[in-house]
Structure 1
Amino acid sequence: MTATARITAALDSRGVTTLPVLEGEGPLALRRVRGPGPAAHVCVIGAMSAPLGGDALRIEVDVQAGAALHITSAAATVALPGGRPGIPATYDVQLAIADDAELHWLPEPLISAAGSHLTMTTRATLAPTARLLLREEQILGRTGENPGLLASRLTVWRCGTPLLDQEAAYGPGVPGWDGPAGLAGYRAAGQLLHVEPGMGRAAARPAPRRADGPGGREHPPGPGESVTLPLADGAALTTALAPDGLALRRHLSAAC
């Protein structure tokens, strides 16, 4: 199955963010929902089981100048076995944010079920004064089961130059993914990227910060560990590991 969802947010003459394009296909159903503040709010709803082996899913988001858009999902995305054996599913997310525009990309977690094989890519392209809050969470296996094979890559471009480019792979056949240099026994991994104009000033740049598990530094939010690091051009990246999705969300929410 191949399916694409498209979202365009634009500012009208009254200064209100509208959604001239809101189109979903297959399992990618889109609904405009109520939310606080002046931003437009969209929820991605899984209309059927996906992704399965061989599925190609894609979400394209275009936030035009001055618009504000917040995107969530109704439930976790579960990568499942089945479909075309031996062929990985793909899930591509393309985000474009123009000058003075804002995007919050805050979906629910991705769960890699046993026997699944998924390649996920997220690419964000930002104008000089664009604002972005992006969260990614990966849960490796459902309760009591081993994970499937999951490969993910996140790239962020700002002003035509790379701000962040990182990739990770977990699951059967990936060397050392669960060892001390990998997840070290944890089963949930996530990151929170915050890009805000003005954070690049020396007085405003966040200092590196680490939060450990119970008894660790900085009164951490629960089991697991996280680290927040400043990036170039006014950005900060928090990376977290935790035993489950609830603890992972607590760490990332604390970073917010």
Structure 2
Amino acid sequence: MSVQATARITAVPDGRGGTALPVLESGGPLALRRTRSGLAPYARVTVVGAMTAPLGGDRLAVEVDIGDGAHLTVDSAAATVALPGAGPDAGPATYDVRLAVGEGATLRWLPEQLVSAYGSELRMTTRVELAPSARLVLREEQVLGRHGETTGTLTTRLTVRRSGRPLLDQQLAYGPGAPAGWDGGAVLGGHRAVGQLLLVEPDFEDSCPETRLLSPTAVRTRLAGPAVLVTAVAADARLLRGVLDEALRELKGTG
């Protein structure tokens, strides 16, 4: 039996220099927990998997609304594993993430990896709306197959709008049914971990880091706006995280 569920978070300033969470609504397998931030003035929410998901046929969503002047970190307790459905007619699973960040607000969206298990089919969309002075750190990581297995079918789309205008819109597809060449030298080159890091920083209006190669399998790209995108592939999740963490440290030193 498929699951339909939506988890919701609303963050607002608490009037004391911190961030309050008037809405923290779990849904189905998406259990939300307020956890210790350790980074003032941020609130922190950790997504905890309450059951195995997404399975084929599931319809999951996360909605995050960050009010003007609020600061929020969202992470997860473990990797998300996309699995096949209970039957051949289950159909693909969908996972929709909708993020809105207000004036002077900041969102750090840092979930753990998404693992595409053999036989699964997942369509994931992430839509972000940013106010002109909003800040964003967004990390996405995909692992194509568990240890010793081939990948399932995974399609992801990331759309970011700032001040109502497009900043980034890209779609990626891997596995059976994906366009030919997805595993070729021009895309993955045999690697099984792929990720990206998007940093939107209003201070980049004056001085934005330039596009450059970070390693043989990672590149930093300057976008047409106060933002940079780091894209990387690696042999495994650990190596990928190391590349993205190092890129973020370098970028925060320039922002």
TM-score range, shorter chain: over 0.9
Tell me, in whole angstroms, the C-alpha distance in 1 between the residues paired with 2:49 and 2:186.
Answer: 34
Tell me, in whole angstroms, the C-alpha distance in 1 between the residues paired with 2:140 and 2:5.
Answer: 21
Q: Is 1:210 the equivalent of 2:213?
A: yes
**The structure with more helix, counted as a fraction of residues:** 2
CA contact (8 A) 1:53 1:85 kept: no
Q: Which amino acid aligns with 1:176?
A: G
Moved more, 38-47 or 79-88: 79-88
Superposition deviation, residue 50 in structure 1: 0.3
Task: Give the match for residue 148 of structure 2.
Answer: 144
Q: How does 1:1-256 map to 2 (within 5 A)?
A: 1-36=3-38, 37-86=40-89, 87-174=91-178, 175-201=180-206, 204-213=207-216, 225-256=217-248
CA contact (8 A) 1:11 1:66 kept: yes
Q: Secondary structure at the match of 1:165?
A: strand
Superposition deviation, residue 100 in structure 1: 0.1
Aligned length: 243
Tell me, in whole angstroms, the C-alpha distance in 2 between the residues paired with 1:197 and 1:243.
Answer: 34
Superposition deviation, residue 209 in structure 1: 1.8
Q: Under a length normalisation based on structure 1, what TM-score does the superposition of the two structures give? A: 0.93
Q: Secondary structure at the match of 1:49?
A: coil
CA contact (8 A) 2:12 2:19 kept: yes
Tell me, in whole angstroms, the C-alpha distance in 2 between the residues paired with 1:75 and 1:195.
Answer: 25
CA contact (8 A) 2:219 2:230 kept: yes
Tell me, in whole angstroms, the C-alpha distance in 1 between the residues paired with 2:82 and 2:225.
Answer: 34
Q: Which amino acid aligns with 1:30?
A: L
Q: Secondary structure at the match of 1:250?
A: helix
Superposition deviation, residue 181 in structure 1: 2.0
Runs of 4+ with deviation above 3 angstroms: none
Q: Which runs of 5+ in 1 are unaligned?
A: 214-224
Task: Give CA-to-partner distance per residue, 1:200-239, whole Å, 9 cap, x none.
Answer: 21xx2101121225xxxxxxxxxxx210011122101000
Q: Under a length normalisation based on structure 2, what TM-score does the superposition of the two structures give? A: 0.93
CA contact (8 A) 1:200 1:232 kept: no
Q: Which amino acid aligns with 2:129?
A: T
CA contact (8 A) 1:8 1:20 kept: yes
CA contact (8 A) 1:55 1:83 kept: no
Moved more, 176-185 or 164-173: 176-185
Q: Secondary structure at the match of 1:78?
A: strand
Tell me, in whole angstroms, the C-alpha distance in 1 between the residues paired with 2:18 and 2:151.
Answer: 43
Q: Secondary structure at the match of 1:199?
A: helix
> How well do the aligned residues superpose, as a CA RMSD in angstroms?
0.9
Taking only the aligned residue pairs, the percentage that are identical comes to 59
